[in-house]
């Protein structure tokens, strides 16, 4: 096993329905290191989101191994896996996945609440995260009172407030306009560069791909290209 944050060893994923089988991933080997700003790209159905879900422990491989910070995910109990997801991974979902009855700051501090962080400390850390994403002054608004871009910023704040080892972002720019997408990407670049946050994106958005330091291209469930870009030195 390599010493990256994430290591994938011969990972396959096959979905079955009755006698039908669909191979989503076909023998993936890769390592994601610290401070990377990396995209998984490829056409729809290439396996991007499936791979992101396996790395995040939201699904299990049919065969092969997924390691996160030295922990082989399939060897963990359900409670251990839930704890690892809670403490070491930040998720940014395509549909935001904010809790509609909670305010922006309550959404941002939700993982800290699950970690049993004291109220004063979690409020301070959540407020700091909201300030980082440019939502100072909007902390008491609920999701329906925020624009799509603002909701995505809350999702980013929630993903970074607990200082995870890696942030997994599934199509984070798909539901926002170009100006908002550029603003969100600039924010995530800043978090990567200044705070050392590792980002792994699943995307087909050229705006995201154009800012990546490393591009892993998937096709038919296999890696067909894995290359550093001219921006890699910015890490």
pLDDT digits (tens, 9 = 90+) for 130-141: 998 999 999 999
Q: Average of pLDDT values for 136-150?
A: 96
Ordered by start, the domain boundaries in the chain are 34-61+78-234
Summarised one tens digit per residue, pLDDT across range 98-136 is: 999 999 999 999 999 999 999 999 999 999 999 989 999
* Whole-angstrom distance, CA of residue 161 vs CA of residue 155: 10
The per-residue pLDDT for 4 is 87
The pLDDT score that the predictor gives to residue 161 is 96
Q: Can you tell me the mean pLDDT for 212-221?
A: 96
Residues 184-213, mean pLDDT to the nearest whole number: 93
Residue 136 CB-density burial (10 A; 0-12 exposed, 13-18 middle, 19+ buried):
exposed
Separation between Cα atoms, residue 231 and residue 208, nearest integer Å: 13
Residue-wise pLDDT tens digits, 28-60: 999 999 999 999 999 999 999 999 999 999 999
Q: How confident is the model at residue 1 (pLDDT cuts 50, 70, 90)?
A: very low
pLDDT at 176: 84
Residue pair 140/105 in contact (Cβ under 8 Å)? The answer is yes
Place of tokens 């790209």: 41
> Topology of 34-61+78-234 in CATH?
Rossmann fold (3.40.50)
pTM of the model: 0.94
Percent pLDDT > 70 in the chain is 98
- The arithmetic mean of pLDDT across residues 215-225, rounded, is 97
Cα–Cα distance for residue pair 193/187, rounded to 1 Å:
10
Helix (H, G, I), strand (E, B), or coil: what is residue 217? Answer: strand
Segment 196-206 shows an average pLDDT of 94
DSSP letters spanning 31-72? EE-TT-EEEEE-STTSSHHHHHHHHTTSS--SEEEEEETTEE
Residue 114 CB contacts under 8 Å (≥ 6 apart), including other chains = 86
pLDDT at 3 over 90: no
Residue 235 pLDDT > 70, yes or no?
Answer: no
Give me the pLDDT at residue 62, please: 97
6 contacts 32 by C-beta, under 8 angstroms: yes
Is residue 3 classed exposed, middle or buried when 0-12, 13-18 and 19+ CB atoms within 10 A define those classes? exposed
């Amino acid at each position: 096993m390599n010493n990256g944050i994430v290591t994938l060893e011969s990972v396959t994923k096959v979905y079955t329905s009755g006698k039908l089988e669909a191979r989503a991933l076909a023998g993936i080997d890769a390592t994601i290191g610290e401070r990377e700003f990396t995209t998984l790209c490829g056409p729809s159905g290439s396996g991007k989101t499936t791979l992101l879900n396996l790395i995040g422990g939201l699904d299990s491989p049919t065969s092969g191994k997924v390691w996160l910070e030295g922990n082989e995910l399939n060897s963990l109990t359900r409670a251990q896996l839930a704890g690892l997801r809670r403490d070491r991974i930040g998720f940014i979902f395509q549909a935001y996945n904010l809790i509609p009855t909670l305010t922006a700051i309550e959404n941002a501090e939700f993982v800290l609440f699950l970690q049993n962080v004291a109220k004063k400390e979690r409020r301070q850390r959540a407020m700091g995260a909201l300030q980082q994403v440019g939502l100072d002054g909007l902390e008491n608004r609920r999701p329906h009172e925020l624009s799509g871009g603002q909701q995505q910023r809350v999702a980013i704040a929630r993903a970074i407030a607990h200082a995870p080892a890696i942030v997994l972002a599934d199509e984070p720019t798909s539901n926002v306009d170009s100006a908002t997408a550029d603003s969100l990407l600039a924010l995530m670049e800043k978090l990567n560069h200044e705070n050392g946050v590792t980002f792994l994106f699943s995307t087909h958005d050229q705006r995201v791909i154009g800012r990546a330091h490393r591009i892993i291209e998937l096709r038919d469930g296999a890696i067909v290209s894995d290359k550093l870009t001219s921006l890699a030195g910015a890490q």
